[in-house]
Structure 1
């Protein structure tokens, strides 16, 4: 039995994860109550509390945990112990546990005490403590696998897991989807409109203007409409485990659970298939569209409604032919007004604006948008891979420490080196992701316009259109004399 010095002072640390919050026996109040009883019976005075609610112990990146460690490092601290209910409340990650306990004990003179496990300072006590830490980490990892296994079993029986899709509600008894009649009407409108050639933007605007809002009473955006149009759940099909929780990328199809007719369909298969064919055809057409004679299509927008402006060739009764860009929202649905600009005039204006930048380098910063080049993306991947390797390298140092090959001081030095290197790499990653725009924007833009004469002399509409699209983010037209060009600044 461990004995404690009279008038010992301590702080308590309590943690509960999101998954554990419903467990009353493991709740923060229950942990605090047990710790206070232990302190009272052992003559220990608790002078502070650090509580992390809804935080996992797999990582040390917990606000109250880090505040506690910071306070323990202070020279004027008043406590010599940290009381926890169990070892796994402190950490379930073996490396974090070893490092922080060693740091607290050897550098701060603070010991971590588990009130229910009562490890002493003997070799046997240290061995038991280490074993409990390993068991805690195993339990954490194993629990995640068991939870996934349980979810997989439920999903394979048609029990719906995850966020209930718009158009449905969840039957609390069967845990299966049932149709929400009001929302289902909106779903049907989306599919019907898209099957007749309407764009996501047009569908979005129609729904918003008619008060057919999302389940949170917010306006629709085009990406939300597209997600619904692509989702086979509306045909009665249930697909589970398609994407990873961490980064939303797709899992291997062999890991998916795909079930048909698990719930009532809102959209019949024929309409769904028709819509998917249109969607695929439009995506294929994007590449072919560059062959159009309209050099600015897809980057020229109506400044009033934001809709793409569409190339139109119109013959007047007098025989004169007008070639212009007209608001597509007006042409398709008369939901904007006859906003247009003549093709020759706007294309001339764009090339003149580019030549002006080349000549004097002056440009309004509001006319520039930053985009990331492929080179930046490759550099980002390299840095992220380096970050992973550093973490693996430190794990080796930790194993060396546990095998008593290196000392705690050497481990701490390794930790410092790793932390510094991690910080440098993260800073480089942030610089790439959030690179600031220099004041001299015109000079930065110039190099990508140097081949303007060469591209025009090629007389190749496809090449010219691609050249413009790579350098111009969008062109907004309010009227024939009010045009705003927004350029891309690639990194």
Structure 2
């Protein structure tokens, strides 16, 4: 029994293709007929109208590829309604299919375009991909001309931003979210920064349209978007992202009703410009330089996010972006003193919170493979249970699958138990106390200190309220 994933995408240019629901129904039927499990979390569906020409512009496609390539993945095959749903760019199609096949042995199957095995089947598949690519290139030219005309007449050329709804190809204020946009502008003028505004919105229980927490960059994007005072912004050459000064950007008067009046808009832009000059020394102050052996290991006790180095200390990265509500800032020297004290105490007493895993670089290949197989079998066990609960499998089918999978799990657990070495805690602590001494030495280079720390510390949790640290080790 194979575990399948489904990728579903619908383009607005093809009015004859199946809806997402119809595609999913056909894929589920195909999986059932071919003895495949299709878990709900392995169904990847793009938002309607997402183009298939470039993989980087398809978030669900990227999530599917990342999931399929992960060590915990038990995906054996990816099902699509047509090959053009997977990609309309032949080069990308070949790259991603080869990548999945080479790394994980995963095949991509079109349920409506059966391809014979062998070289002739591969040739037919390439021809189908070439035809899809040719159609996509021609379509892109038509779409570009249509978008240019719409833009020049003041009509939107993208989805409606928060604060607006799209009705009959025209932006109209959303009575639910337009007041939120107005609040953001007024709060900014009243002295609240983007991060504090984001935290305020998150506290109110409001999420973005994608269901995510608000961040300072989300607020910043709204404050810089001219659509809110009656303009349409478009970059016909490339994606602008957050480069608001991109010379390729064009702005025209829109046909929609403004949410923000011209006076408020101008005041906000003036304040943004002044703040950029005032705080310019803190802008893009991101560097890969190692400042401490603890970098990348410390976690916030409130939200679990990694603590990053900033302004001479460490701060919760989620708090810095407005997603966490509790500041965990601590000066670098204080954090290192605390960490070294607790590590030395733990290793001296032998009372270590040991995570029973092996460092990926030290673990033998056979053991790693057994672990992966065991994880996949356990996932399969939950899949067959879901299939029975949802009525896909009969009770008899469920019992047979469960018995077969449990037998394989028992076999793998036995293999893993025999190959997992026992940890001599006394020797473990002695060895790592010697490493700690080198880490604390001023004569050891920072990159070596970092490698030594990561060779036995899994992660460190810092609690700002108690000023305490919990260190988790691994062997």
TM-score range, shorter chain: 0.3 to 0.5
Bigger-Rg structure (1/2): 1
User: Relative contact order: is structure 1 or structure 2 higher (C-alpha 8 Å, sep ≥ 6)?
Assistant: 2
Give the TM-score, by structure 2 length: 0.42
